[in-house]
Structure 1
């Protein structure tokens, strides 16, 4: 106990009084502060979600009255006539998510490490790296569709004659390449913010102890960067699971490139199956929510600073 604390606790004359704690006052103030955000989330997210779940319980009768069918639309999507399209879209979405996120994390980490170094023109490099991320997705899709033509610049540089959007695996690879090119700067920006929080004194101490570059990266950079890295992966993971615009504009869902979000739009808007489309959107939401929950559950310790983690375990 410090000297000031001892004086206050002893009740000596002239000692400042201890502040009084109001029970419940802080809790109500916190609710008042977050109430506007909660109301906004309820209006923007809560109502559409509840409405989609409600519509998914009714049949699709064009020009007539919809009938309550319970979980009929869900059975159709999971085990019925639409099961083939649903599970295929789920596999494609998972494939895109795995490869694109893995490549983006590796490239984004490398870019962040380069941008974190002190060199002349670092500000210009940081600004230029963010250009792909700033370009609208529609422009990115048209740009890459032009470059991936049989006579495009990609085949010219590689010396091949691949028809990138003409068959299954080249089409999928084209989407992963375009998505990685566009989104890697976003992860680099988030990782760079985490790198700037690491004190330089730790690197100096590691150098004094004789640690090389790889040892410093493995023992200093990576452990302290893990919270920022995991947050970046979580954001990108949730975004990749609902990918729609890039494959829609690049391939139109042809050659086995239809994702879950594309299937939802095709069913609810193009085929006017609002009940079935609502069931697909609800299933997509549950899948994304489940992935986020599992990620936070098993990687949650990496999302917290060391002090918070010790306090929670205590």
Structure 2
């Protein structure tokens, strides 16, 4: 019997090769830090509000007040004005013109006192931090005694050093001849520098000490095994690792020294050409009921302090908000590979 062969079924048509479609974009899950950021903003908002009221509002008022003159006789009408006349930028023009000599004297006094005191405070403060960081018997007593000058109010410090620099005081007894420290001359600057360094060098030492305490001892031990000496360990280990804390301390002290007022005012006195600073000059104008020029001096001092702070943060990398002293950079996201493509 002949075998019946069933016809073969035709093969199905080949499936068309379609290009792979891009995967559907997945919805990103909510970040875990979103709630934390909102909570942080909520907690910081009262502080920002207080800073806005205490700092921003007085700055705007001072800028507005600097555009007005003083009350007095109007040369055009011959009558005494009840309100302060609007003079525009005349107060600033007078500062750099008619009152230029006094302004530049106060400006250079402020700059000289700031540079000198901050430099000495940095050197002495680092030495204090290194001493307080070493382990020895009585270290707690040494730390407490070093921090006492910083705890004393500035007015009390000025009176204390005024008594020391008196004509019959301890300073003249130590040097062996009489010097009138609280009168005009370079010795008045020296008196202010000594008093300010004595008071605020412990502040620098305290911040540097906080930076020293986070350096692991294993780093120094490894350097000691490699044969590094004391100076080499200080230069290549201590200074680089303590730099963030040191820069913040120097920044704070610089901004504080640029606004120096109470110490030279109490120690030496008002209207002393040798030690008159921009803050003292603004106070002198305000005491004479010349609020427009006083506000102009205050605005110039504000701009000066702002530029110095900006230079510290931008050029020197002073870290006051971050961790490494550098601004945070956004990460570049790599493009996603389509599914099915080998890496």
TM bin (shorter chain): 0.7 to 0.9
* Structure number having the greater helix percentage: 1
- Show CA shifts across 1:203-250 (max 9, x none): 000111011111110111010010000000000000000000000001
* Corresponding position: 1:172 with 2:186: no
Shift of 1:73: 0.8
Shift of 1:19: 5.8
CA distance in 2, matches of 1:23, 1:180: 44
Is the alpha carbon distance of 1:296 and 1:274 closer, same or farther for their aligned partners in structure 2, counting shifts above 3 Å?
same
* Corresponding position: 1:257 with 2:267: no
Instruction: Say which of 61, 64, 72 aligns to 1:54.
Output: 64
Partner of 2:313, secondary structure, is helix
- Show CA shifts across 1:109-155 (max 9, x none): 10110010000000010001111111111111111111112222112
User: Does structure 1 conserve the Cα–Cα contact (< 8 Å) formed by 2:67 and 2:91?
Assistant: yes
Shift of 1:167: 3.0
2:83 is matched with: 65
* Corresponding position: 1:272 with 2:282: no
- Show CA shifts across 1:72-118 (max 9, x none): 11111122x22111111010000100100000000001011001000
1:113 is matched with: 130
CA distance in 2, matches of 1:208, 1:226: 24
CA distance in 2, matches of 1:277, 1:53: 11
User: Does structure 2 conserve the Cα–Cα contact (< 8 Å) formed by 1:166 and 1:255?
Assistant: no
Partner of 1:127, secondary structure, is helix
2:23 is matched with: none
Q: TM-score, normalised by structure 1?
A: 0.87
2:231 is matched with: 214
CA distance in 2, matches of 1:304, 1:230: 13
User: Does structure 1 conserve the Cα–Cα contact (< 8 Å) formed by 2:67 and 2:87?
Assistant: yes
Q: For structure 2, list consecutive stretches of 5 or more residues without a partner in the other structure.
A: 1-27, 73-80, 332-343
CA distance in 2, matches of 1:147, 1:23: 57
Q: How does 1:159-198 map to 2 (within 5 A)?
A: 159-198=176-215
Is the alpha carbon distance of 1:85 and 1:154 closer, same or farther for their aligned partners in structure 2, counting shifts above 3 Å?
same
1:228 is matched with: 245
Shift of 1:160: 2.9
Q: For structure 1, list consecutive stretches of 5 or more residues without a partner in the other structure.
A: 1-17
Shift of 1:33: 3.4
User: Does structure 1 conserve the Cα–Cα contact (< 8 Å) formed by 2:244 and 2:325?
Assistant: no
Partner of 1:130, secondary structure, is helix
User: Does structure 2 conserve the Cα–Cα contact (< 8 Å) formed by 1:59 and 1:275?
Assistant: yes
2:256 is matched with: 239
Is the alpha carbon distance of 1:310 and 1:144 closer, same or farther for their aligned partners in structure 2, counting shifts above 3 Å?
closer
2:139 is matched with: 122
Partner of 2:136, secondary structure, is coil
Greater C-alpha Rg: 2
Q: TM-score, normalised by structure 2?
A: 0.80
